[in-house]
Amino acid sequence: MKTLKSLKRRKFTDKTAHWLITCSGVATIFVILALFIFIFLEVFPLLKGAKIKKNTVFSLHQGAVCIGADEHMEIAYAIYGNGSIEFFSLIDGSVIRKHDIQELGNSHITSFDKHKNLHILGTDDGKIATLFIHFSEVFEDGKRTIVPHISLQELVRAEGADNDYEPFAIKHIASKGDEDAALTAVHTENGRLLLLSSEIETSLFGEGEKREVKKDITPLLKKSLKPISSTSGAGTDHSLPENEVVITSLVLDHFMENLYVGANSGELIHINVRDKEEPVILERIKVSDKPVTALGFLLGDISLVVGDSDGNINTWMQVRDELSSFGWSLKKIHTFQSHNGPVTAIAPSVRNKCFVTASSNGSIHLHHATSERTLLNLNINSVVTALAFSQKANGILVTDSTGKLFRWDISNPHPEVTMKTLFGKVWYEGYEKPEYVWQSTGGTDDFEPKLSLVPLIFGTIKGTIYALLFAVPIGIFGALYTSQFLHYSLKIVKPVIELMAALPSVILGFLAGLWLAPLIEKILPSLIIMPLFIVLSIATAIFVWKILPAFGKGRYKHGMEALVLIPFIVGAIFGSICLSGIFETFAFGGDYRQWLLNVTGLHYDQRNAVVVGFAMGFAVIPLIFTISEDAMSNVPKSLVSASLALGATPWQTAVKVVLPAASPAVFSAVMIGFGRAVGETMIVLMATGNTPIMDWNLFNGFRALAANIAVEIPEAPFGGTLYRVLFLASLILFVTTFIVNTLAEVIRQKMKKKYSKL
Amino acid sequence: MKNFFKSGNPYVWLTASALTICLLMICGLVMLIMIKGLGMFWPHKIVSICLKDNVVVLGELVKRESVPYEEDAYRSKLKVGNRDVYGLDFKWINDDDIASMDYPLSAITIERREWGNMYGFLEGLRKDNKTEVVGMDEARELVKESKMLYERIRHIEKKEIGDINHLIEKNRIKLRSLIMQLPSEKLQKKADRVKEKIEALEKTYSEKEALLTELYTEARKKEFIIRLADDSEKVLPVFQVVRMYTPNNMHIVSKMGFYVSKLWEYVSGEPREANTEGGIFPAIFGTVMMVFIMSIAVVPLGVLTAIYLKEYASDNFLSRIVRIAVNNLAGVPSIVFGVFGLGFFIYFIGGSVDKIFFSEALPTPTYGTGGILWASLTLALLTVPVVVVATEEALSSVPRAIREGSYALGTTKFETLWKVVLPQATPGILTGTILAMARAAGEVAPLMITGVVKLAPSLPIDHHFPFIHLERKFMHLGFHIYDVGFQSPNVEAAIPMVYTTTLVLVFTVLTLNIVAIVIRNKLRKKYKTSLV
């Protein structure tokens, strides 16, 4: 009975062990799968576009002129045409506070501009009111309450200085300002364009004195001025009838230097207003065949969004242009999905390069400038009167003429990432043409992230190729020699080479960056003559070996070549280093860096591709060496013997029999070496300058995918676009090495099978 | 000649040169690291150079080279120290400018706690506004005294105040978790008690701080007066001195003694001056501990996978996939493991652990940030294939006859495995483990994003409960090399330190590898004979 029990127990233990071990074996598959799936899951949200999370409609009393909301989208305000302002809850629509601007009297608001918390309102009787609206947060018992504040900062008359004119309605207004200065451009109903500036000049005694300038710049527009350039080709002459600039929109940048005037003729007039007394027209350009109806700057005030009466939306930007009289000219950068009706409002995000446009036909689009795509299409089927984009770029507010307020909560976490921005040329702000650029972070808030992976992939490939160029011949020939010719008593070199593989890459990187790079900079010319010297030294070695009396060599007749060569090659290397200076004087006229720059136009960086190629080659050689050597040693002896028996020399046997037979494994060794070089991080990080430039130049650095991840991911906020793009970079690395390794493994297995049959 | 080429001999020589270059590269590298790394602690002579314009400079000769683009001109690089006075540690001097050169016997090198080395002559001691002349021996006594004071201050700062801070932090978290719970009278009382405790602790804290200020004022009382090369005098608090010696007046035995004491400081001491001086003990400790935690994780997984592949799986689809998976784990770039560790271990698992167990400490993450546990687990994944390959080899070297003998006696498969095969394969498993350790000790890229820091405030093991702190960040030899060599503000002065750390790391990694190779070869030999 007892034995039966113990038998049962033993059987149970055996089964459990079997099950457990199989599970652990399979666990390895899970690890690889988990790696892939988890990294993919982190990348996946990049592919998702913008989404509407919630859509709510509230009703107001009438259509508002201007709307806005606090940062958290809890309280909104609406400014009505009659000068009253309402604050209301964006949760239930209830009115929280009402405010009337008494000072405006019976005037009606006809135009407005918004700048930070300032709302500059123009009225139908020529007044300009500056309204300051902001929200403060109060924390009480862990609960947040938002309190709105409103104050009228200034009320001026647009044409008050020389009271000759009847007050005219302000049709368009553009205003910018800071603590010390403010500038307002106004277009009135009688067709005049006025510039009002105020500046606080601090005198020596510290007292500020306000200086106001009013300037009528209408005559400037009336001056005959031919369009400098046009969109529809240089050949056609768009001689516009002069004096007929019908202003349809105005916009001013926050530098208070550039005023853009949109005209009925589809022209854009660029006026430099840096000198408030003497503004000058810099450029007049046809931007559309239809009247320009809306203008607006994107975050940073560099890209200008232009909307016309057909609903076309483009961004324009000042680009360096040698033909232009002042060195710059406006260029069309991006084109977006068109509304099928006149564009009436443009609202930029204060977070990123997104913006919302609305048309009078009720369509509302959300765009992202850099990625040149329209993310959302909304429609309210009524006339849009005011448009606002929330401060966190997660909501859109719209009022229509019937007094309805629409609120959309949107989720738009990664608008800047598309296939095109990752892998294509993109025309970034401040660039002369579309380019591949990686620059993930910048110093300012209005920085445009440049997330092209192309320079990084290029850098990875560049480093890998240079490393393999160095490592492949040495690895394969070394293996061939070790497996076929090396004396058996010297087989100890194999574990020595294995030790080479064990050297941490951080050490190789450190030595490459801080020892080798300065050294190579000093003795670069000698690298050019070194191969020649080494070949010569080998020839000398052969000669010396031949004339050496046979008894001196003892029983080591063959297989000692590698040892014999050591002093010769050391001599060759030292010789070439010593002659470096002389060779430099002789071939490069004394300074190779100057020569490089003058003759080939190349710059020399201390940490460059040569250094990386050498250091990474150091890491790759042992891999290629060991795998190839194994395969060459395992080529069946019968094949080698047969070849030798037929009269082939050992060299012929090695090249014509062993090498072809082992070639699949040698190939897979190269593949594995490739995989290692692609993913190498520390060497590239330390031995290159990590500049993401695309240039095959041997003497430049580069930035590789792996090093880039190591540098940037600690700083990347969790879940942000950069974080996910870096995960994408590691996914690319993972997939590349996975394919390469699997292929290499399959080839190796096939070869094993082939020889097991022999 | 034609025949000679036909024989293929020159080509054989050519391929031989490839192997020679490999060997030269590795030997050269090891020699370079040895030469550069071992020289760091040797007391260098101080040279006094009088230039032609009558300026005298004092310092250690570091390097001599020919002037670029000039014939027969040489220049020397002198470490002049006194970073607080000159701004730079090094100075280039052309041979043409030198008027005379000598090695003054009384010149001293002073290692300071801040600002690097100082070179000069000891003039005297200032105490209570009185100046007196002191000899070298007296000065050494003073330095010894101040060292004891320094150690006392360190003890108070690190141990005593550290303990108080630890307790305060613990009580704060307790208080927070009490407040987070539903309010009741009992809890309120408890909270009040904790508050009282915190106040009491804060009181002792301020007492200790007062004591510290007192000690510091005492420490600043005595000052050395040092005459610099340009005859200007500089006042140096005795407290600032770590070590002072007259290298020109030392004979070989005392130099060797000096070498050993410096080496000991290096291995056992704490880093100074942003890691560029002092010791690397925390880095050694962090590396060793990380490697051990990693081994605990990697050995079971690796060994079981190898057993599965070798003993249990037949050559089917599944086993082939497992093999491909293992090979791929070996080939996936280490940085990808780091990224995975960051996303999966730190943000996903660590974040969840924080939410469940450490919610009172949030938003400060406990496990939701890089730490030694996550770094070790990440490296464990990375080193699985190393263990698998070595174990597999060990398993296949166990002769079939032994297994069959065991089966013939009626054992089950598991019993044979457990009692017969595995004991025989133990050296092989050990080899795998050692190789995995060597790999992990040298890996840096994944650690950089999973928990290594430049300077860790405390070791992952200390006297506070629960003694082993797996969530703490740690220092690592490899990262130390990267950080000091590339991120420190004064790279040039830090380079000797980096070479020495490199030597330590290379020594560790190569020793581990050689041990593993020796064990493996013994195993191979053993079974080669047993098979016959």
Query: Are A538 and B517 within 8 A, CB to CB?
Result: no
Last residue of a domain, one of B174, B195, B220: B220
Tokens of B423: 């004991």
What is the pLDDT confidence band of residue A164, given thresholds at 50, 70 and 90?
Answer: low
Judged by average pLDDT, the poorest of A444-458, B63-77, B227-241 is B63-77
Which residues of chain A have a CB within 8 Å of the CB of B14?
477, 538
pLDDT in tens, A394-415: 889 988 888 888 889 998 888 8
Is residue B387 included in any domain, yes or no?
yes
Is B326 an interface residue toward A (CB < 8 Å)?
A: yes
pLDDT of A552 higher than 60: no
Neighbours of A294 (CB within 10 A): 22
The answer to whether residues B76 and B140 belong to one domain is: no
Cis before B363? omega within 30: yes
Interchain CB distance below 8 Å, A625 and B481 = no
pLDDT band at A468 (very low <50, low <70, confident <90, very high): very high
Q: CA of A707 to nearest chain B CA: how many angstroms apart?
A: 8
Say whether residue B507 is in contact with chain A using an 8 A CB cutoff.
Answer: no
Please judge whether A485 and B321 are an interchain contact, meaning their C-beta atoms are less than 8 angstroms apart.
Answer: no
Q: Which residues of A touch B482 (CB under 8 A)?
A: 506, 509-510, 682, 685-686
- pLDDT of A1 reads 56
- Counting every residue written for chain B, the total comes to 532
Closest partner CB to A24 (pick from B304, B328, B331)? B304
Would you list the DSSP string of A285-329? Answer: EE--SS-EEEEEEPTTS-SEEEEETT--EEEEEEEE-TTSTTSEE
In the predicted structure, residue A239 carries a pLDDT above the cut 60 = no
Q: A236-245 contacts: CB < 8 A, separation 24 or more?
A: A238/A286, A240/A265, A240/A267, A245/A221, A245/A269
pLDDT, mean of residues B212-227: 85
What's the pLDDT score for residue A557? 63
Asked whether the beta carbons of residue A737 and residue B328 sit closer than 8 angstroms, the reply is: yes
- A-B C-beta contacts closer than 8 Å: 315
**Residue B441, domain member (yes or no):** yes
In chain B, the percentage of residues whose pLDDT exceeds 70 is 97
A interface test, pick of B22, B290, B473 with most A CB neighbours within 10 Å: B22
B96 and B141 in a single domain? The answer is no
- Mean pLDDT over residues A363-392, rounded? 88
Q: What span, in angstroms and rounded, lies between the C-alpha atoms of A691 and A680? A: 17
| Window from A211-225, B130-144, B260-274 with minimum mean pLDDT | A211-225
Task: Kindly list the residues from chain B whose CB atom is less than 8 angstroms away from the CB atom of residue A503.
Answer: 26, 29, 442, 506, 509-510
Question: Residue B529: its pLDDT value, please?
Answer: 57
Looking at the partner chain, which of B18, B26, B517 has a beta carbon nearest the beta carbon of A474?
B18
Min distance B413 CA to chain A CA atoms (Å): 7
pLDDT of residue B532: 39
The reported pLDDT for the residue numbered A152 is 84
Please check whether residue B417 lies inside any domain of the structure: yes
Structural domain contains residue B276? no
Indicate if the pLDDT at residue A267 is higher than 70: yes
Task: Calculate mean pLDDT across residues B494-518.
Answer: 90
Classify residue B263: in a domain, yes or no. no
Q: How far apart are CA A721 and CA A713, in angstroms?
A: 11
Write down the H helix ranges in B269-333.
281-307, 317-331
Q: What are A583-605's pLDDT values in tens digits?
A: 888 888 778 888 888 888 888 88
Quick one: pLDDT at residue B228?
A: 86
Residue B64: closest CA among B76, B73, B46 = B76
Cβ distance of B335 and A706 shorter than 8 Å: yes
Do residues B357 and B435 share a domain?
yes
Task: Kindly identify which residue of chain B lies nearest to residue A629, measuring between CA atoms.
Answer: B19
The confidence score (pLDDT) of residue B2 equals 64
Residues B326 and B373 in one domain: yes
Residues B114 and B209 in one domain: no
What is residue A550's predicted lDDT score, i.e. its pLDDT?
61
- Closest residue to A569, CB basis, from B17, B319, B417: B17
pLDDT tens across A98-151, in order? 888 887 878 888 888 888 888 888 888 888 888 888 888 888 777 888 888 888
Does residue B96 sit in the same domain as residue B164? no
- How does residue A159 score in pLDDT terms, banded at 50, 70 and 90? low
DSSP helix/strand/coil, A404: strand
Q: Provide the pLDDT confidence category of residue A684 given band limits of 50, 70 and 90.
A: very high
- Check pLDDT > 60 for residue B531: no
Dihedral angle, C-alpha B114, B116, B118, B119, nearest 10 °: 170
Beta-bridge mates of residue A445: none
**Domain identity same for B514 and B490:** yes
Whether chain A has a CB inside 8 Å of the CB on B492: the answer is no
B517 interfacial to chain A (CB closer than 8 Å) = yes
Q: Show residues of chain B in contact with A713, CB under 8 Å.
A: 338-339, 342, 449
Asked which of A62-76, A223-237, B15-29 is least confident by mean pLDDT, the reply is: A223-237
Q: Is the domain of B352 the same as that of B450? A: yes
Q: Do B498 and A497 touch (CB under 8 A)?
A: no
**Of B69, B97, B128, which residue is a domain's last?**
B128
Cα separation of A383 and A57, whole Å? Answer: 15
* Distance from the A435 Cα atom to the nearest Cα atom in chain B, whole angstroms: 28
CB contact under 8 A, B19 and A486: yes
CATH number assigned to the domain comprising residue B85? 2.30.30
Looking at the structure, do residues B214 and B296 belong to the same domain, yes or no?
no
> Which of A44, A506, A537, A558 best tests the B interface by mutation, with the highest count of B CBs <10 A?
A506
Looking at beta carbons, which residues of chain A come within 8 Å of B388?
Answer: 28
Confidence of residue B480 (pLDDT cuts 50, 70, 90): very high
Residues 6 or more apart whose Cβ sits within 8 Å of residue A389: A347, A348, A349, A350, A354, A355, A356, A395, A396, A397
Residue A210 predicted with pLDDT over 80: no
Residue A555, classed as helix, strand or coil, is coil
- Position of tokens 């028996």? A645
Span of A163-167, A519-523, A611-615 with lowest mean pLDDT: A163-167
What is residue A325's predicted lDDT score, i.e. its pLDDT? 77
The two beta strands, A384-389 and A373-379, are unpaired
Most trustworthy range by pLDDT among B140-144, B222-226, B475-479: B475-479
pLDDT at A230 over 70: no
Query: Which of B1, B12, B179, B395 best tests the A interface by mutation, with the highest count of A CBs <10 A?
Result: B12
Distance CA A705, CA A457 (A): 6
Band of residue A236 on the pLDDT scale cut at 50, 70, 90: very low
* Cβ pair A505:B442 closer than 8 A: yes
Mean pLDDT of B124-136: 83
Beta-carbon contacts of A648 under 8 Å, excluding residues fewer than 6 positions away, are A656, A657
Candidate from A155-164, A300-309, A676-685 with smallest mean pLDDT: A155-164
- How is residue A690 annotated by DSSP? -
Residue B447 lies in a domain: yes
- Is B328 within a domain? yes
pLDDT of residue B24: 92
Residues B52 and B169 in one domain: no
In whole angstroms, what is the distance from residue A530 CA to residue A526 CA? 6
Mean pLDDT, residues B22-32 taken together = 92
Helices (H), A185-319: 218-222
| Chain mean pLDDT for chain A | 85
The predicted structure's pLDDT at residue A315: 92
Q: What pLDDT was estimated at residue A641?
A: 92
Instruction: Give the residue from chain B lying closest to A687, CA to CA.
Output: B486
Q: B295 and B439: one domain? A: yes
Residue A709 is which amino acid? I
Tell me the mean pLDDT in the region B303-332. Answer: 85
Domain contains B404 = yes
What gap in Å lies between CA A158 and CA A589, rounded to an integer?
71
Which of B173, B196, B220 is the C-terminal boundary of a domain? B220
B364-391 per-position pLDDT tens digit: 788 888 889 999 999 999 999 999 988 9
Q: Which domain holds residue B124?
A: 46-128
Could you tell me which of A67, A41, A697 has the C-alpha nearest to residue A405?
Answer: A67
* Among B308, B331, B337, beta carbon nearest to A24: B308
State whether B340 and A39 contact (CB < 8 Å): yes
B342 interfacial to chain A (CB closer than 8 Å): yes
One domain for residues B333 and B477: yes
Instruction: Rank A471-480, B132-141, B175-184, B197-206 by mean pLDDT and report only the highest.
Output: A471-480
Give me the pLDDT at residue A555, please: 55
pLDDT digits (tens, 9 = 90+) for B259-313: 999 999 888 888 887 788 888 999 999 999 999 999 999 999 999 999 988 888 8
| Assigned token pair, B412 | 């089950």
Mean pLDDT, range A231-248, rounded to an integer: 55
Q: What is the chain B residue with the closest CA to A479?
A: B19
Number of folded domains in chain B?
A: 3
We report the CATH number of the domain holding residue B518 as 1.10.3720.10
Residues 6+ apart with CB under 8 A from A196: A128, A156, A158, A183, A184, A185, A186, A212, A213, A214, A215
Could you tell me whether strands A64-69 and B117-127 are parallel, antiparallel, or unpaired per DSSP bridges? unpaired
